[in-house]
């Protein structure tokens, strides 16, 4: 897989899937614009890439702040005459039962601010360049949980659903102008994000190298979707029979929670 000379903007590049995707892309010749909040972590990733003979520029950015995004976009658009792709990878996840979030509308607002509005503002900022070039690709990181009726992630899943809907519109409206959008539905991946929840220590997860490989596959093939067979079946079942799909999978998820709770030895909703 070669990305020789392609300029790729990658958010959430200071950790996890984004960091690993940056390393893999750099080894395959991509010119990388790396965004995240922590400048020292971005500088660490950049230094490793440069030492390995790759090319990377860093733009410390808080994607929940429109001004910060605009500053980064102005700088990277001025520095790079051609931008081939944007990977909206940065995100925040919350695992919380709906009944525990009834006085926490801010959970939903904050998650949307980063996972949806941050990604949206990045995309909108690059569309004029994509149109002028006659091509541009947007890859959005999502989750297998968006394809199956899983409980306890209402804020997170709603933000990913918004991104999916926007991607569909982008393909429908601007596909004929050379602009493509891809949703990538990762299963659980061993990263700092999944490690923050102790209950996940006992779950089998995808390796971060393989997850980054999905990002590269998305960038190479530009399909509408990259994901697992389980996710495809889940989407089909949800589309065909949404009521029964939720009703009959509920006991499975409850049993899974009980099993994880037993392993952890403490209570869990
Ligand atoms: N890990 C999983 O099991 C899993 C499963 C399904 C889908 N995904 C998706 O995969 C993507 C990557 O997840 P990951 O597991 O690699 O997460 P991660 O290791 O926690 O990395 C998240 C990245 O987002 C950046 N970020 C967070 N808040 C930001 C902000 N306000 N502004 C700019 N950057 C911000 C972080 O950098 P700073 O802290 O430096 O800002 C970091 O680089 C996400 O979209 C996630 O939803 C992950």
Q: Kindly state if the Cβ of 186 falls inside 6 Å of ligand 1.
A: yes
Q: What is the CATH number of the domain that holds 22?
A: 3.40.50.720
Among 84, 78, 105, 80, residue whose Cα is nearest residue 2: 84
| Distance of CA 14 from the midpoint of ligand 1 (Å) | 9
Q: Kindly state if the Cβ of 212 falls inside 6 Å of ligand 1.
A: no
Which tens digit of pLDDT belongs to each residue from 190-220?
Answer: 998 888 777 777 788 999 999 999 999 999 9
- Which of 193, 204, 228, 230, when mutated, tests ligand 1's pocket best, judged by the most ligand atoms within 8 Å of its CB? 193
CB 94 within 8 A of CB 107: yes
Structure tokens at 197: 């929840």
Question: Rg for the chain (alpha carbons), in Å?
Answer: 19
Among 47, 40, 183, residue whose Cα is nearest residue 22: 47
| Distance of CA 246 from the midpoint of ligand 1 (Å) | 28
- The answer as to whether 90 is a domain residue is yes
Q: For position 34, what pLDDT does the model report?
A: 99
Catalytic residues: 156
- The answer as to whether 158 is a domain residue is yes
Q: Looking at residues 96-114, what average pLDDT do you find?
A: 97
d(C-alpha 10, C-alpha 87), whole Å? 5
Q: For position 103, what pLDDT does the model report?
A: 97
Among 145, 180, 161, 108, residue whose Cα is nearest residue 256: 145
Atom 43 of ligand 1, residue of closest alpha carbon: 12
Which tens digit of pLDDT belongs to each residue from 224-257?
Answer: 999 999 999 999 999 999 999 999 999 988 888 8
Q: How many domains does the chain have?
A: 1
Name the pLDDT band for 265 (thresholds 50, 70, 90).
low
Segments forming the whole domain that contains residue 218:
7-230
Task: Please list, residue by residue across 5-31, b when 16 or more beta carbons sit within 10 angstroms of its beta carbon and e when fewer do.
Answer: ebbbbbbbbbbbbbbbbbbbbbeeebb
Q: Kindly state if the Cβ of 48 falls inside 6 Å of ligand 1.
A: no
Q: How do beta strands 31-36 and 7-11 pair?
A: parallel
Q: Kindly state if the Cβ of 194 falls inside 6 Å of ligand 1.
A: yes
| Distance of CA 248 from the midpoint of ligand 1 (Å) | 31
Read out DSSP for 175-220? GGGTEEEEEEEE--B-SHHHHTSGGGGGS--B-HHHHHHHHHHHHH
- The answer as to whether 130 is a domain residue is yes
Mean pLDDT of the residues in the chain = 95
Q: Kindly state if the Cβ of 182 falls inside 6 Å of ligand 1.
A: no
- The answer as to whether 269 is a domain residue is no
- The answer as to whether 262 is a domain residue is no
CB 170 within 8 A of CB 210: no
- The answer as to whether 38 is a domain residue is yes
| Distance of CA 25 from the midpoint of ligand 1 (Å) | 18
Question: What ligand 1 atom has the least distance to the C-alpha of 188?
Answer: 3
Residue 263's Cβ-side half-sphere holds a number of Cα atoms within 13 Å equal to 11
- The answer as to whether 251 is a domain residue is no
- The answer as to whether 241 is a domain residue is no
Q: For position 141, what pLDDT does the model report?
A: 98
């Amino acid at each position: 897989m070669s990305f020789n000379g392609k300029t790729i903007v990658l958010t959430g590049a200071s950790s996890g899937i984004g960091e690993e995707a940056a390393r893999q892309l750099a080894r395959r010749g991509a010119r990388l614009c790396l965004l995240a909040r922590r400048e020292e972590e971005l500088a660490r990733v950049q230094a490793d890439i440069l030492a390995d003979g790759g090319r990377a520029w860093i733009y410390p950015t808080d994607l929940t702040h429109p001004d910060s995004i605009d500053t980064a976009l102005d700088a990277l658009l001025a520095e790079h005459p051609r931008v081939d792709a944007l990977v909206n990878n940065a995100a925040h996840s919350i695992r919380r039962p709906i009944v525990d979030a009834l006085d926490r509308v801010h959970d939903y607002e904050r998650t949307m601010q980063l996972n949806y509005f941050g990604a949206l503002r990045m995309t909108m900022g690059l569309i004029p360049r994509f149109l002028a070039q006659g091509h541009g690709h947007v890859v959005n990181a999502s989750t297998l949980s968006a394809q199956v009726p899983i409980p306890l992630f209402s804020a997170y899943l709603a933000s990913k659903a918004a991104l999916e809907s926007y991607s569909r519109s982008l393909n429908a409206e601007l596909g004929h102008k050379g602009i493509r959008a891809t949703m990538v539905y990762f299963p659980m991946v061993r990263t700092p994000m999944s490690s923050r929840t102790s209950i996940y220590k006992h779950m089998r997860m995808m390796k971060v190298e393989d997850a980054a490989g999905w990002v590269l596959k998305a960038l190479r093939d530009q399909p509408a979707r990259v994901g697992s067979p389980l996710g495809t079946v889940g989407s089909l079942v949800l589309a065909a029979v949404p009521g029964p799909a939720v009703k009959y999978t509920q006991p499975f998820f409850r049993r899974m929670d009980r099993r994880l709770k037993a392993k952890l030895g403490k209570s869990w909703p």
